[in-house]
Structures are given as structure tokens and as C-alpha cells.
Amino acid sequence: MTMLRSLVAVALCLGSTSAATLGAVSTEGGMVEGTNHRLGLFSSIDVFKGVPFAAPPGRFEKPKPHPGWEGVLKATKYQNRCLQVTLMQMGTHGSENCLYLNIWVPQGRTVSTGLPVMIYIFGGAFLLGASNDVSFMGNSLYDGEEVAKRGNVIVVTVNYRVGTLGFLSTGDARGPGNYGLWDQHAAIAWVHRNIRAFGGDRENITVFGQSAGSVGVSFQMLSPYNRGLFKRAISQCGVALSPWAMQRDPLALAQKVAERVGCPTGEEMMACLKITDPVVLTTAGKLALGDIGKGPVVYLLELSPVVDGDFIPDHPSKLFHNAADIDYIAGTNSMDGHLFAGMDIPSINQKRNPTYPEDIKMLLAGLTKDKGEVGVNSSFSMYTQSWVPEPDQETVKRTVVDIETDYLFLVPTQTALHLHSSNAK
């Protein structure tokens, strides 16, 4: 009996001292309730999955506020990814109804308040990816738990439209484009308006992202629409100045998509695209892998943001004053260009096949196309300056990777940091 009583006492004690939890949270759209799971004796994590931050979007339209809901929304499972081609481009998955985010809140003995907030923007070449992307080992690639727990921060991962539905543009008012960027902005603004109810500090929001998500971070900093909404930003491998971050000729690309789906390319083009099956539209935006070898692979990444005169009012290099109040970290990896290098010059990954200086000249000719022969000659001599007369294969191959890394990632990032520091307050 005494034994039982002390067991009950211990159990009660554990009950009253275990970690706190938010329970149902009131947001602008209504109540949401997630799940709580215990991490340790006095720590747990509240997880809210699939919280809508905007209404299901109209096709080629900016996101609109969610009308709200009655009762308590169960935020216990991830919602749809935005409609996109599959990784192998054999089909599509996801839905147009995809504007959802997920929130992780670390808890201790008492309910957390005033926590810093980190909003993550996923990558995927503006073509694919999701806030809950699955890694090849089956775990959620962007599960926020680890960062939330270790950093004692709230982590938010957000969806945005990709591919044709996210970035098709006519380059004018008929179809301005940048829908995916507007989605990212809507998510950031939602977090700013609602995160206090989850224990977050809306004056301490950091936006971070990788690859195309990193470019997204950069555009969000440069857009005048985010002024005051976040304080810090981290770009992991990509900025708005990266050569793959912006469309070169949006109208030509929109017309190419229109032709593929059987729409006229003149005045009625946008009206026709708007009523075209979204799966057909999405498929029409896949990478033209058949064109590999016809020039640097980077030029196949066609669907991306544009200067729309609104969200992105001017060329990104002229917009750094909008980011003057933001603390910024940007970086790249030493071999970020390797994936592209291996597609442009496959021999760099083949033991039996040598890579020739001529291969490098051809690559440079493609990358410096707009600079003519002078571009090839001067960049080739620069990159081969340290070569001995008969360089070994390792050196030659490393040079190819350096060229791609510099062109696609490192130099644009250095330029962005330079522009940021010269504008920053």
C-alpha cells in the first residue's frame, strides 16, 4: 500500500513537472491543434503540420488570404506539395491546393515565449520540392525538430508553387509571373502576424533556404514587400544574381509552353493557359533533358523568377537598399558546381576517359557566349594559369568543377555580399 502510494506520488510528480505544451492555438484563420511529443523529462516539442497560410491559389494569380474555418483545425499531418513533376520527370504529383506551412515549437517546463523564429525555404530548381520533402532514406528531409531542439528556436517550413504554375511569365501584365515568390512572401507575412500565439518573437525572424530556396531568400530580402517582416537571412548556395536565378526571355518560354499544351501564342495565350489542365501545364514545364550536350546544362533551368516591376521592381543588383536592415549570411560549398560539371563534361567522372583542354574551352565558350572569343581566351588563360605543361587529369577535372562552381554559385554570392555590405545599415 505504501509502495503503491509512493508510486502514485512519483507519477503525479512526473505529471506536474513534465514539459509544457501549447494545446490549441488561436490564429487569424481559426484554432489549430498539433501534436506534442516528449523529448526528455522536462522538454518536449509541439508540432503543427499543414497549417494553411493562404487560400488555395487561383492559377497564375497571387495568393489570397485564407477565409478561415470553424472549430479546431487538426494540424497533425503534412499537406499536399505544390503540383510538380516527379524527380525522374515521368509523371506529376501534388496539388494546386498546397499553400501550407509546418511549425515546430520547443517546450521546457513552462510554455515557451519570445523564441527566435527560423523560416525555411526548400530548394529544387524552382521546379520541384516541398516543405516536407522526403529524403531517399525515407525521413522527412526538412523535419524541423532537430534545429528547433538544438537551437531553442521555432522552425517553420513553407510550401510555394513551382514549375509553370509557380513561375510562368509573359514578361508583362498579362502574366507577370513570380507566383512562387508571392507564396513565400505570404508565408513570411503569415508567420509575422501569427507566430506570437505559438510563443515566437515576430521581431526576431530569420529566413533561410538552400539552392533555389536560397535564391528565394535573396529575392525576399530585395523585394520592398517584406520590409520589416524579418531581421536576418541565410542563403545556402544561391542568390538572386546567380545566372540560373532569373529568366532570360520569359515570353519566349511562355510561348514554348503554350505550343506544347496546344494553346495559341498571341493575345489569347494566357486565357487559354488558365483553363488548361494543370497536370498538362506542369508536364510542359519539365526539363528538356534531350538538350543535354547542346550547351551548358544551366541554360535548361528556364523557369525561375523575373523582374515583374512589382514584387521585383528592378534588376536585383539595384534593389539592395531594400535589404539594408537585414543581417545576412551567404555561402556556397567548394564543389557546388560538380553536378553541373559532370553533366557538361561527363569525362570528369569517368576513370577511363580523359578530359581535354578543348572540352574546357567549349564549356567556357558556352558560359561566356555573350562575350565572344575574348571571353573564352581570357577565362581559359585565367583558369589554367597554375597548370604545369602536361597537367594531370585530377588538375584538369578540378578546373572544370572550379569553373562551374565560380560561375553558378561562388562569384554571384560574393557579388551579392559586396552589394549587401555596401548598402547595409
Kindly give, in sequence order, each residue whose CB lies less than 8 Å from that of residue 352, ignoring residues fewer than 6 positions away.
none
Place of cell 506520488: 9
User: Distance between CA atoms of 349 and 71, rounded to whole angstroms?
Assistant: 57
Contacts with ligand NAG in 224-243 (CB under 6 A)?
231
Cα end-to-end span (Å), the chain: 69
Per-position x/- string for 240-269, each x denoting binding to ligand NAG as judged by CB under 6 A, each - no binding: ------------------------------
Q: Which is nearer to ligand NAG, 2 or 381 (CB)?
A: 381
Kindly give, in sequence order, each residue whose CB lies less than 8 Å from that of residue 372, ignoring residues fewer than 6 positions away.
none
- Minimum CB distance to ligand NAG, residue 380 (Å): 8
For ligand NAG (CB under 6 A), the number of binding residues is 7
Per-position x/- string for 84-123, each x denoting binding to ligand NAG as judged by CB under 6 A, each - no binding: --------------------------------x-------
- Minimum CB distance to ligand NAG, residue 256 (Å): 33
- Minimum CB distance to ligand NAG, residue 372 (Å): 7
Contacts with ligand NAG in 361-400 (CB under 6 A)?
373-374, 377
Amino acid at site 178: N
Q: Which is nearer to ligand NAG, 230 or 244 (CB)?
A: 230
204 makes contact with ligand NAG (CB under 6 A): yes
Place of cell 503540420: 49
Place of cell 537571412: 233
- Minimum CB distance to ligand NAG, residue 228 (Å): 12
- Minimum CB distance to ligand NAG, residue 116 (Å): 4
Q: Which is nearer to ligand NAG, 74 or 149 (CB)?
A: 149
Per DSSP, the residues of 377-404 read HHHHHHHTTT--SS--HHHHHHHHHHHH
Contact between 398 and 298 under an 8 Å Cβ cutoff? The reply is no
User: Distance between CA atoms of 180 and 172, rounded to whole angstroms?
Assistant: 17
- Minimum CB distance to ligand NAG, residue 232 (Å): 8
Distances (CA, A) of 184 to 380, 382, 385, 404: 40, 40, 43, 28
Q: Which is nearer to ligand NAG, 204 or 255 (CB)?
A: 204
Summarize as ranges the residues that interact with ligand NAG (CB under 6 A). 116, 203-204, 231, 373-374, 377
